[in-house]
Amino acid sequence: MLAALNVNDYGIYSVVAGAVGVLGYLTNSLVVTTQRHLSFYHGTGDMRLVKTMFANSLLIHFIIGILTCAVLFVLKDFFINHFLNIAKNRLDEAGTVYSVMTLMLFITILTSPFKALLIARENIVYISVVEIADGVLKWLLAVSLTIIGLDRLLFYATGMMMVLLLNFAAFAIYTFSRYEESHVGKSMRILDWNSARQLLGFAGWTTYGMVAGMCQTQGLAIVLNKFFGTAINAAFGIASQVNGAIRFVSTSILNAMNPQIMKAEGNQDRGKMLALASKESKYSTALMMIVSIPIMAEMPAILEFWLKDVPHHTATFCQTLMLAFLIDQTTLGLHAANQATGKIKVYSLIMFTPKIMIVPLAWILLQYHHNITTTMLMYVAIELMVAAARLPFMKFSAGLHIGRYLQQVVLPLIPLLVAELSVSYFTISYIHAPYRFLMTTVCCVLIGAFTLFLFGMDSHERKYIYNTLRTKNEQHED
């Protein structure tokens, strides 16, 4: 795609998408909020409240979508002509991309309650099928860029919007046909203010956290654009794509376990809720280690194989974004646990305010030192500080035993970390062959999985896997 669009057009797409995508974090917060409340009330067994929550969520999403798009269209001239650093000969195309991105945001907002209901219902299989189809369609769209005669930037933006429309149809039609609580009927015509207050209050603080996360990515991308232009946004955009692909592993675990965490709290079982949160942290971190460490180690080789012309600093961006995300995974289950308790205001202020500081700090560092590496190391340091801060907070707010958490989550992962680093170091230092990165990745995955089974799992978890495999084998023989 980079080769088809060229560095500057890809940079335009990335930075415009980033500017519009700032408000996309509101959408993510609404998904989290809706899913949390649906799962919580599923845990209480009150289907009437579940239906009321979904109906009000659908209405709120529609209103927010209309208002958000109206604001974005009003700000279009300011962003394109005065704020973003875009070549004058591509301003018209950038404006069209901005409009398409705004419509995409509206579609995404409308999709949110349907996806939240599927997550609350723990229908991870269907979500995965839709997301795989989404990835295939986007890949076909990228491939088609090499053969079309139209403006490739505009074609790509429009194609992405069509893929998003198909996603919306897939989620909405399936949800309406499968789940009773989506049959809102008269509930859509009457806004329940108590439900709306719960949703909007929770969403407000969740949005604060999402915006803070945005400052680490899209905000930083805009700062980089102001100092280095669209070429650096191509590098950062590629890094964000790589990190997004890696995040898919973690997202699958979160979608599977978060509803159970919310339901346990709704059922007033705090011990089970914290135990599930600890397992979520351990296994999401373990799988991320197995996948991301060999990729980080071989990043320059992978980028050279993948891209015809690798933009400068792409490897640095990829490695630091993946490292920051890996650090975040170590206590990410505690984030879900806090959402389950509903004590989100103070948590959001303490955990997410440092992330917002990435924008002014990056501006200062680049203004006086012009050093991208130092800026990205600060990004990682902030993520480390936030991940560590979750432990004492959850101790005082939810009764987490920090020593037990470290023993159950962090210590079992140390052998896995040593194994992954050792294998990566050995293959890179002593093997010099074409496509070595494939060998590094395969070796790390196999040895990492074996190490996780031996040292990362307790006896009950190993026994569960053994019994599951034995049962499937017996069924196959029958």
Long-range contacts of 410-415 (CB under 8 A, 24+ apart): 410/330, 412/282, 412/455, 412/456, 412/457, 412/458, 413/282, 413/285, 413/286, 413/289, 413/330, 413/456, 415/451, 415/454, 415/455, 415/456
pLDDT, residue 297, reads 92
pLDDT(343) > 90: no
Q: Find which of 96-110, 190-204, 442-456 is predicted with most confidence, using mean pLDDT.
A: 442-456
**Cα three-residue angle 39-43-49, rounded to 5 degrees:** 70
How far, in Å, CA of 125 to CA of 327, rounded?
27
Q: What is the DSSP letter of 180?
A: G
Question: Taking 70 as the threshold, does the pLDDT of residue 5 lie above it?
Answer: no
How far CA 263 is from CA of 167, 178, 258, 266, in Å, comes to 27, 21, 9, 5
Per-residue pLDDT at 475: 58
What is the Cα–Cα distance from 43 to 140, expressed in whole angstroms? 41
- Please determine, for residue 265, whether its predicted confidence score (pLDDT) is greater than 70: yes
Could you tell me which residue, 311 or 318, shows the higher pLDDT?
A: 318
Give CA–CA dist 21/101, Å, rounded.
8
State both tokens at 278. 């600890």
Place of tokens 């301003």: 91
Most confident range (mean pLDDT) of 12-16, 223-227, 386-390, 468-472 is 386-390
Identify the residue with better confidence: 435 or 427.
427
Which stretches of 399-458 are DSSP H helices?
402-405, 414-430, 436-451
Let me know: does 160 contact 97? Beta carbons within 8 Å. no
Answer yes or no: is pLDDT of 14 > 70: no
Per-domain residue ranges of the chain:
1-216
Residue 132: pLDDT above 80?
yes
Averaged over 354-365, what is the pLDDT? 88
Residues with Cβ within 8 Å of 409's Cβ and at least 6 positions away in sequence, in order, are: 278, 281, 282, 285, 330, 333
What is the reported pLDDT for 424? 94
> Out of 190-204, 241-255, 297-311, 451-465, which region has the weakest mean confidence (pLDDT)?
190-204
CA angle 221, 223, 226 (to 5 degrees): 110
Tell me what the mean pLDDT of segment 239-260 comes to: 76
Give the pLDDT band of residue 142 (cuts 50, 70, 90).
Answer: confident
Distance CA 377, CA 375 (A): 5
Share of residues in the chain with pLDDT > 90 (%):
22
